[in-house]
Structure 1
């Protein structure tokens, strides 16, 4: 199977489209997902997840199956969700601003802490699993060392960026290794900003003609 783009539609669920041919290759029903609340479970599990909008529920599908293979309840409504690359950890961002971490194999809640003052808009886990990036409607972007998350009951971010004046709608990790990476953030304030993970320094700010609601980073060497 080639590269597939996933898109969520309230009427039709989650649709998988072949990136090169444009052909519809998969449909996942019973999905009314949040904008940053659906995607693959890890990098190679063969499963898709979705947080249900306006409900404290999430569903999981095996690739190729239209109906969910798992339906689960959540402690509160989640507005964002992400998995570690190996699929072992699930990170949920809540409408309250809290972040939850579950162990996928057991379903055990490992950690929960108040990370933001308003709803979490997106979560990203670095490819090597060393840090977590959270964005929020409170206009902040936080970066957490995952080693600290599992030691401290109330972990503090090692970077907290507050350059946006309105809610942050999307984040993306530009290609890199370890802490030598760049975070891009977009906001309702009509700007896109770049931040250096290693130093915490702001690198770039660009004004846009309208509010930006999504970001994607091309792979290393991509056009």
Structure 2
């Protein structure tokens, strides 16, 4: 079943994440916790979800198979700084969190910050997202720059320069969407400059630029990438059909009735399209959430509105999530988790280990559960031994990938050095022969 996950910024409320049934509009779960930062909701497949707490260096985890009414708080090892947008690699081994203009790559299982990109953007990072295969990490900032990073090179410290960097936007990038296809995917970005830019990650080129009448704050794209919706600053949701694209690289959307959805009265802060592409969920800056029928273009359901909940805070995150509602209730009847997080009050920082010289925890990874899965869940010693067995294999694979990337980089530098040295020797040899010939000619003339 597909559920709807939303967060809003209401300091007076003790609810951090709300899970709804989009078919009926009923509330399935209200997860207690702090307000979530915009763009920080991370859905770990069917395992659970993460958010970054507003104004504090804390990441909160709710995991399927455990009691979900209270979160587990993990201290992000980046100092006492406010966290911004956040995302996680598809395999769940790395979390990437933005702090102002810096991008931090963090491995929660060990608490280590693997890489810090200090010069990612000139102004604060506003959006972060991975491709579906984890090949690229995409970031957008308040400086209008969109950068594409090779994630393997980042974690192996082989290179900290973006593969692509585009500066077509003139105002802050507010939202982005990465299509399916890994390194061949299509990237959609929207900005307060009223433009949607569509890029090809395969070629690194701008494919299409679409202008709208209002500043844009959110974008939703269907799975087949046949159309997209963007939320405007005045509450209007605009529609653009990609099956009949313009002949040139530029297009413009007007306010005609067939191109807009009108129900919100304030800025549309979040959009998400269901997996079956029948419904669109939208949230605004007053806390109202609407479910739209995409065939009739009508708002068929209102959930979480400011009038019904008393909430006045903006909707900060909204996403459809394919999950079994029964597994969200926790307990023995729920789904057992296969990703294990370290159960420690504070994770270690940097590359330091504990006082005994042993690692605080092994590698956080999915592990196979056999007949003794119940014992794995009840015994901490068996849990960590099982986790370490699964983690050792992943650690070796990751280490081999890093070694391969470093070897390629070393080989490239060695090749450049050899070529340069050979050319220098040839040039020096030519110069020496020329000087020798001149001296011979002078002697012959005498």
Give the TM-score taking structure 2 as reference length.
Answer: 0.47
1:139 maps to: 144
The separation in 2 between residues aligned to 1:26 and 1:158, in whole angstroms, is: 41
Matches within 5 A, 1:29-178: 29-40=32-43, 42-44=44-46, 46-63=47-64, 65-75=68-78, 76-95=81-100, 97-114=101-118, 115-152=120-157, 155-175=160-180, 177-178=181-182
Shift of 1:74: 4.6
> Which one has a bigger Cα radius of gyration?
2
**Is this contact kept in 1: 2:186–2:201, CA < 8 A?**
yes
Matches within 5 A, 1:179-194: 179-194=183-198
Instruction: Give the structure with the larger helix fraction.
Output: 2
**Is this contact kept in 2: 1:91–1:100, CA < 8 A?**
yes
Instruction: Give the structure with the larger strand fraction.
Output: 1
Partner secondary structure for residue 132 of structure 1: strand
Q: Give the stretch that moved more between structures: 9-18 or 183-192.
A: 9-18
Is 1:8 the equivalent of 2:7? yes
**Is this contact kept in 2: 1:166–1:187, CA < 8 A?**
yes
The separation in 1 between residues aligned to 2:128 and 2:19, in whole angstroms, is: 21
Partner secondary structure for residue 36 of structure 1: coil
Structure 2 gap segments, 5+ residues each: 226-275, 278-446
Note the alpha carbon deviations across 1:157-185, whole angstroms, 9 max, x for none.
1111110010001110123x232111110
Partner secondary structure for residue 85 of structure 2: strand
**Is this contact kept in 2: 1:87–1:104, CA < 8 A?**
no
1:214 maps to: 218
Shift of 1:23: 2.2
Quickly say closer, same or farther: Cα 1:74–1:105, change in 2 above 3 A: closer
**Is this contact kept in 1: 2:131–2:179, CA < 8 A?**
no
Structure 1 gap segments, 5+ residues each: none
Aligned pair count?
218
The 4+ residue runs of structure 1 with deviation greater than 4 A are none
The separation in 1 between residues aligned to 2:194 and 2:138, in whole angstroms, is: 21
1:24 maps to: 27
